Amino acid sequence: MRVNQFIDLKAKQLVYYVRAFLVRTIDYSELDIFIWDTLEEWGQVTVSKNESYSEKERVFWHLVHQISFWEKETLLNDTLLINELNICVEYIDGNGCFPMDCIGIRP
């Protein structure tokens, strides 16, 4: 699988999981498992040397990092962080503008 194929497939799933978590229809443990599974699957992706990032990929990895970095309570209660997560989700879903200060890199 190529990078753009992986990002397109996993971005849809990431949008679903983050939205569901933020409205509290799934528990953090489900989101966490999805993130770890995604990172494991990333190991099977073919990345060409010096392959550039798309904006969507940068936002995708930024969002993955934010979800992995912050604790559950912070993700649920920090209004600035929640706003940032929603902006990233909207962009990945094709409905928003590129988020400011979004510097996602591949693991």
Instruction: Give the gyration radius of the chain's Cα atoms.
Output: 13
Are the C-beta atoms of 60 and 11 separated by less than 8 Å?
yes
> For residue 103, is pLDDT > 90?
no
**Reported pTM:** 0.94
Phi-psi region of 106 (alpha: psi -120 to 50; beta: other; left: phi over 0): beta
E strand or H helix at 68: helix 55-69
Per the CB < 8 A criterion, the answer to whether 85 and 21 are in contact is: no
Distance, first Cα to last Cα, the chain = 16
What pLDDT, on a 0 to 100 scale, did the predictor assign at position 6?
A: 97
